[in-house]
Every structure is written in C-alpha cells, then in structure tokens.
Amino acid sequence: MDLLNTLVDKGLRRELPTREEALAVLATSDDDLLDVVAAAGKVRRQWFGRRVKLNYLVNLKSGLCPEDCSYCSQRLGSTAGILKYTWLKPDEASQAAAAGLAGGAKRVCLVASGRGPTDRDVDRVSETIKTIKDQNEGVEVCACLGLLSDGQAERLREAGADAYNHNLNTSEGTYADITTTHTYADRVDTVHKAHAAGLSACSGLIAGMGESDEDLVDVVYSLRELDPDSVPVNFLIPFEGTPLAKEWNLTPQRCLRILAMVRFVCPDVEVRIAGGREVHLRTMQPLALHLANSIFLGDYLTSEGQAGKADLEMIADAGFEVEGADQVTLPEHRAATAGGGCGSHESAGCGSHEGAGCGSHEGAGCGSHEGGGVCGTAAAAPVAAEPRTDLVAVRRRGAGTDLAPNA
C-alpha cells in the first residue's frame, strides 16, 4: 500500500500528488476500495473533522437555456419534461431558501439557467440576496448565474453574495465535445472574475459523461490550479431528452474512487457531493461522507433528491455531524482569505494557500453550472450496472410550484 501511504502523507502536508498517483487511484480494484476510502478519509478528517456542510439549492429561473451543454436538462433542444418558469420574486426565493435552512443548511445556492446574467438580472439577484440575508441571519449565499461580464461579480459581492459557482465540468481537451456555444476558456475567465471580486470561488466537475481517467485527472488538476474554496463533484444524471441520456458509465465503486482522487488532489478544500449521488452512489452514499465534507440537502434544480430527513439520518448513522452555522467550514489557513480576498491568494492550488465553497450539473443552466491496482497497475475498465432510470425523477415540488419543498 505504498501508494496510499504516500498519498496520505502528501494530503496531510497539502502537497500535490503526481498525475501518475492520481491515475493510480482511479485504477485501483474493488478489492482495494475500502483501503482507498480509509486513506482519503484520513486526509478529510485532518482538515474537516467529522463535519458535513449542508447546502440548499434554489432554482431562480428554470429551463429555456440558449446554451447546448449536452448534460443539461435545461439546454437548447432538451425535451426533458422539467419545470419551466421565469425569475422567482425575492420573497419567493427567500421562502424557498428558508425550508433548506430549517433543515440545517448553512449555504443557499441561487441558480438561474442561461448563458449569463444581464445587468438587470444582476439587479434582481442582488435584491434576492439582500432579502434572504435580511430574513436569515448568518446564512451564506452563493450565486450561480453563468458567464459573468466585467463588474458583475463586484456587484454581487456588494449585494452580500459570499461565493460564486461556475463549474469547469470536464477537461479542456474534451470540452468542445459536450458544449459548442461557449468555451472552456470562458468558464475559466468567470472563475477568475469571482476570485478577483473577493468572492469565494466554487468550481467543480461532472463525472460519467464518457470521459477517460486522464480527462478526470486533467480537470481536477485544472481546478487545483484555479484554487477554488469548494469543489462540487457531480455524477451525470442521464435525463431522457438530452444527448447524454444513454450514458450510464458509473458504478458506486467508481464514484468513490473519483471522490477519493479529488480529495487527494485538493486535500483542504470543501469537496461537495453534488448532483447524481442518489442515482449512482445509491446505498454507498454513507461511505462517500468519508471523502467529501459537503452535500446538497434535499432536491436539486430539476431533479429530486432523497428526502431531506433521510440525508440527516444518513449523516448521523455514519457517525458524522452537521456543520453548525457558527462553525467555519475551511481550515484556518484557507478561511483567512476565503470570501473576503480570494483574489489575493499568495499561491495557486487547492492545497497551497500559503498566506493564510454550488454546482449541480443537472439543472444549473447550460451556461451556469458531478494489491492489484493499488500500486498503479492498470485495472479492468469499470462495468456499469444496468441503467437505473427509475432513480431519475423530475422535480415537481418546491421552487416554481405550489407544493412544499423537500428539505
């Protein structure tokens, strides 16, 4: 187990693993899976103890996106039967947020479909942020509105936003295979804008779109270089009516290996299990808590999650505790700069803050948004189980409806 011992030592020192080491984690066999989880779990506990941060999504504007992201149920040309509605009013959004906060969430993620916000949209969201903060003391608010223009991140920060989410989703080399209406560089630019405005940057990936191990490692290393405070890991929800509806490439074991790799590469950041955990991790979700320190509570943007009560029971049964509003999520060396000066990190890299966390792929808007091999020998390609289409349920409650939310 020299590989795992090496990765634990590096994670505890916030040292970057080699690409070969990261690839070796993804190549480990199922026989070694619990060893991998235990090793990455040591790194997770070093920086985050046994705390689990709860986040709650509010879909401010659903559907009818002009972008063509292949994974997204809200994309141009999607025939997925999702909810479609225009902007929620500030009080409606605040009411939706309150349900998640009552369930224990400490961060509200405000998401809107679309390429990016107009200045009028920024005004709308700014008013919503102020309303939520006025009505809920101490809440964190993350905005996820797509590609940002100059000055918009600063305006969101002035309105009270704490963070901005914009996911890279996949590697630069394969980005054009999933989206043609904007570029990988556009996404990187928006993350830079969030950093420069003093917002805590949140940026992650989607696994399960047919990518290779090398693609997964590429995007995670790119994320480390961008230095976000939180990294959401989405697992593709193959919505009928989207180009990736037939992509069922994930097993629970593969999902755990991906989360472990992310933890080793980004040891001291908020790693969040985002969209698709119920669909692909299924009964293995509690094991994932040993790798990630953050989840979404209840439903997602256009799909349903497991019951919020079940989330809370899972956390307690696994021996973890919900992170309180008075607890600081990030380790001290990162918290000193997060949110109030993310543009002034002394050195880039998820594990390298020397001077011193939204994203759900399935509905974040196509513009706004988952022994043998342990020593590095190649393992057999993962064999996905039969598609569990029964676990993909379109959201019919909460924001944009007259029904109570799941929180």
Q: Which of 144, 202, 255, 266 is catalytic?
A: 202
Higher pLDDT, 83 or 14: 14
Give the burial string for 324-362 (b: 16+ CB within 10 Å, else e): eeeeebbbebbbebbbeebbebeeebbbbbeeebbbbbb
Q: Which of 14, 109, 266, 350 is catalytic?
A: 109
Catalytic residue status for 272: yes
Percentage of the chain lying above the pLDDT 70 cut? 87
3-state DSSP assignment of residue 235: strand
Least confident interval from 100-109, 138-147, 197-206, 339-348: 339-348
Question: Each residue of 10-67: pLDDT tens digit?
Answer: 999 999 999 999 999 999 999 999 999 999 999 999 999 999 999 999 999 987 888 8
When pLDDT is cut at 50, 70 and 90, the band that residue 302 belongs to is confident
0.85 exceeded by pTM? yes
3-state DSSP assignment of residue 65: coil
Catalytic residue status for 13: no
Please give the pLDDT value at position 382: 52
Q: Half-sphere exposure of residue 165, counting CA atoms within 13 Å on the CB side?
A: 34
Q: Which of 69, 255, 266, 358 is catalytic?
A: 69
Catalytic residue status for 202: yes
Catalytic residue status for 266: no
Tell me the C-alpha distance between 255 and 190, whole Å: 27
If you average pLDDT over every residue of the chain, what do you get? 88
CA nearest to 359, candidates 349, 351, 367? 367
Tell me the C-alpha distance between 264 and 262, whole Å: 6
Q: Which of 124, 142, 187, 224 is catalytic?
A: 142
DSSP string, 266-314: STTSEEEE-TTHHHHTGGGHHHHTTT-SEEE-S--SSB--S-HHHHHHH
DSSP string, 155-183: HHHHTT--EEE---BS-GGGHHHH-SSS-
3-state DSSP assignment of residue 392: coil
Catalytic residue status for 69: yes
Question: Each residue of 336-346: pLDDT tens digit?
Answer: 766 543 333 33
CA nearest to 212, candidates 159, 247, 174? 174
pLDDT exceeds cutoff 90 at 317? yes
When pLDDT is cut at 50, 70 and 90, the band that residue 361 belongs to is low
Please give the pLDDT value at position 384: 58
pLDDT exceeds cutoff 90 at 126? yes
Q: Which of 44, 65, 75, 187 is catalytic?
A: 65
Please give the pLDDT value at position 365: 42
Second-level CATH architecture of 2-391: Alpha-Beta Barrel (3.20)
Please give the pLDDT value at position 240: 84
